[in-house]
């Protein structure tokens, strides 16, 4: 047993929840090891193609479940490497949601006001900026013009993008080779490394077990080319474990660990939310757009620019109104989804069933430059449940990279279906007015519903029956294990969740530091932002004593 490796803190995953914890704990003096299942790619490694084995297939994890499929990051930097960098803050009403449990889901200690200084801290750290209309893409401009024409409002989305550096290549999902997107590779992770944290890619954590003074983390090595191939493994002992493997993997690791950890909270692997997400594809009528909206790119085209620009730049937030009934609130965001899965799932507006393949679809594909994709984020009922875990990993691997079959079951309730239908109808009303376009939702017949923002499978809350974590992100009845990724978010947010996941991770750190100190780790809390800023630290300081009290 003397050869077993030991450290102060093991962090599983290097996305927002893992990177933020790694930076603060390492900066405070703890010995930190980050175990990441995916590869470690740098800017020059991000390729602009869709070939098997390129960065596009290496850094994604697509898991098909029963009724729900999950697309997430699989690399150092996690979801921040593949996300579209839209960083809105959750609306105030979100924190008062009841969802399917019939009472407030969020802990009493957290609301929009109490989370605001943590949002500010993330905004300063990345940083996040508000775009103006000169920053939006052609697609964003078209969406804004259509919203205005139908009597709706539209706004440029806040983003973690350096627009002065962005080349509008629209390859953001494959990783940004220009470092314009402020992924965690450009801030928290290099800062954590500078303070002595160690990041180990291609280390897949399988389970946790108890030791006399903490926990043992069991991992296996993943082949760099074929993720189905498992190499040698090892163990790492730590006083504190922070799980941040994502809402599709963190609960699976815990489920597999129950025989060695002991009974887990009932909510582990339950109450999964897909953030109520839905996608619609509009086929733009170039002539009507020119005639009705007066748009002209200057080269005789009104639009024909689906592939030009970046991710979401414009959103309609008219339905983010707290006075509306639950499940009737949603945001509508213009988005570029690159060829591949999106091409398959996009349906022919008004076509005969099935419309995801066939002659009509072939004709639709000829006009792909005139597509406009709208991303809908609604309210769901947290109806996802994970079944028994696979022998290793978070899924049964099907292909050499990217694709797996998971145990998640998702059967949408009437509430969720109603929210989807209302949001679909709104998009149709906006874009089909005066013949601007024809619109159809993506099909759910191929891979079920789908989400790029999985949430809530190990959520925080005050009720032990419906939340796996307390309001400080510690796993109930398992002191020293914390969860800081999207699985800790209680439910759908109606907006892109990265900003909220990051703010909650920042807020969780004081309690993690306190738990580490109780276990004899010499660590302090109070580091500035990764680039040395301290402005936001003053506002969060008022909450730190309560968060650190145990």
pLDDT at 535 (0 to 100) = 79
Q: What string of H, E and C letters represents the secondary structure of 351-400? A: CCCCCCCCHHHHHHHCCHHHEEEEEEECCCCCCEEECCCCCCCCCEECCC
Q: What average pLDDT does this structure show over 245-253?
A: 98
Q: Is 53 or 518 the better-scoring residue by pLDDT?
A: 518
Q: What is the pLDDT of residue 164?
A: 92
For residue range 123-146, list pLDDT tens digits in order. 999 999 999 999 999 999 999 999
What's the Cα-to-Cα distance from 433 to each of 151, 284, 361, 423, rounded to whole Å?
A: 11, 12, 23, 16
User: 546 versus 292: which is more confidently predicted?
Assistant: 292
- Identify the residue whose tokens are 């309609």: 316
Q: What angle do CA 80, 145, 301 make, to 5 degrees?
A: 90
User: Rounded to 5 degrees, what are φ and ψ at 283?
Assistant: -95, 110
Is 297 in contact with 369 (CB distance < 8 Å)? no
pLDDT tens digits, 438-473:
999 999 989 999 999 999 999 999 999 999 999 999
The percent of the chain in helix, strand and coil, each rounded to the nearest 5, is: 30, 25, 45
* 3-class secondary-structure state, position 202: coil
Q: Is the confidence at residue 2, as pLDDT, over 70?
A: no
Coil, helix or strand at residue 426: helix
Per mean pLDDT, which of 3-12, 16-25, 98-107 is the most reliable? 16-25
pTM: 0.97
277 phi, psi to nearest 5 deg: -85, 150
**Mean predicted lDDT score pLDDT of the chain:** 95
- Phi and psi at 428, nearest 5°, equal -60, -45
Is residue 345 scored above 70 in pLDDT?
A: yes
Report which secondary-structure segment, H or E, holds 270: none
Give the model's pLDDT for residue 1.
40
Q: Say yes or no to pLDDT of 156 above 60.
A: yes
d(CA 413, CA 515): 39
Which residue ranges form the domains of the chain, and what is each CATH number? 5-543 (3.50.50.60)
Is residue 84's pLDDT more than 70? yes
- Neighbour-count burial of 109, counting CB atoms closer than 10 A to its CB (0-12 exposed, 13-18 middle, 19+ buried): middle
Q: Distance between CA atoms of 511 and 508, rounded to whole angstroms?
A: 6
Q: 25-54: per-residue pLDDT in tens?
A: 999 999 999 999 999 999 999 999 888 889
Residue 355: pLDDT over 90: no
Residue 550, pLDDT score: 60
Percent of the chain surpassing pLDDT 90: 88
- Arithmetic mean of pLDDT, 11-37: 98
Mean pLDDT across 466-482: 98
């Amino acid at each position: 047993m003397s050869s077993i490796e030991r450290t102060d803190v093991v962090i599983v995953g290097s996305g927002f929840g893992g990177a933020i914890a790694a930076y603060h704990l390492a900066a405070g003096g703890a010995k930190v090891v980050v175990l990441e299942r995916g590869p470690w790619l740098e800017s020059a490694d991000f390729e602009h193609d869709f070939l098997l084995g390129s960065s596009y297939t290496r850094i994604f994890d697509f898991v098909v479940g029963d009724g729900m499929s999950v697309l997430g990051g699989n690399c150092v930097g996690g979801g921040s490497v593949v996300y579209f960098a839209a960083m809105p803050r959750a609306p105030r009403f979100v924190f008062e949601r009841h969802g399917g449990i019939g009472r407030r889901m969020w802990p009493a200690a957290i609301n929009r006001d109490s989370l605001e200084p943590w949002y500010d801290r993330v905004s300063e750290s990345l940083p996040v900026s508000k775009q103006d209309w000169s920053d939006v893409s052609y697609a964003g401009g078209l969406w804004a013009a259509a919203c205005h024409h139908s009597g709706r409002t539209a706004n440029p989305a806040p983003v973690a993008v350096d627009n002065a550096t962005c080349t509008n290549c629209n390859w953001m999902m494959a990783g940004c080779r220009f470092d314009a997107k402020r992924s965690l590779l450009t801030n928290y992770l290099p800062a954590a490394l500078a303070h002595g944290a160690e990041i180990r890619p291609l280390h897949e954590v399988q389970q946790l077990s108890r030791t006399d003074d903490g926990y043992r983390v069991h991992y296996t090595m993943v082949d760099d080319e074929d993720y189905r191939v498992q190499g040698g493994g090892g163990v790492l002992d730590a006083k504190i474990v922070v799980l941040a493997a994502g809402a599709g993997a963190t609960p699976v690791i815990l489920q597999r660990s129950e025989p060695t950890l002991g009974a887990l909270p009932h909510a582990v692997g339950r109450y999964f939310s897909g953030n109520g997400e839905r996608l619609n594809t509009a086929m733009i009528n170039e002539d009507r757009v020119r005639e009705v909206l007066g748009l002209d790119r200057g080269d005789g085209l009104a639009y024909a620019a689906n592939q030009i620009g970046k991710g979401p730049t414009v959103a309609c937030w008219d339905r983010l109104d707290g006075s509306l009934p639950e499940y009737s609130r949603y945001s509508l965001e213009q988005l570029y989804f690159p060829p591949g899965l999106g091409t398959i799932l996009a349906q022919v507006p008004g076509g005969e069933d099935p419309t995801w393949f066939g002659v009509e679809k072939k004709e639709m594909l000829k006009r792909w430059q005139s597509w406009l994709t709208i991303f809908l984020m609604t309210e769901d009922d947290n109806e996802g449940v994970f079944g028994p875990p696979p022998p290793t990993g978070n899924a049964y691997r099907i292909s050499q990279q990217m694709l797996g079959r998971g145990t998640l079951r998702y059967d949408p309730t009437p509430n969720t279906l109603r929210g989807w239908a209302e949001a679909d109808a709104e998009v149709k009303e906006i874009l089909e007015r005066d013949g601007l376009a024809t619109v159809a939702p993506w099909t759910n017949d191929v891979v079920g519903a789908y989400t790029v923002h999985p949430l809530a499978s190990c959520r925080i809350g005050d009720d032990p029956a419906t939340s796996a974590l307390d309001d400080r992100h510690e796993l109930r009845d398992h002191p020293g294990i914390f969860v800081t990724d999207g699985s800790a978010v209680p439910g759908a947010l109606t907006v892109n969740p990265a900003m909220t996941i990051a703010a909650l991770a920042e807020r969780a750190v004081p309690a993690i530091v306190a738990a580490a100190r109780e276990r004899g780790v010499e660590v302090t809390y109070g580091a500035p932002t990764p680039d040395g800023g301290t402005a936001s630290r003053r506002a969060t300081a008022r909450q730190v004593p309560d968060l650190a009290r145990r």
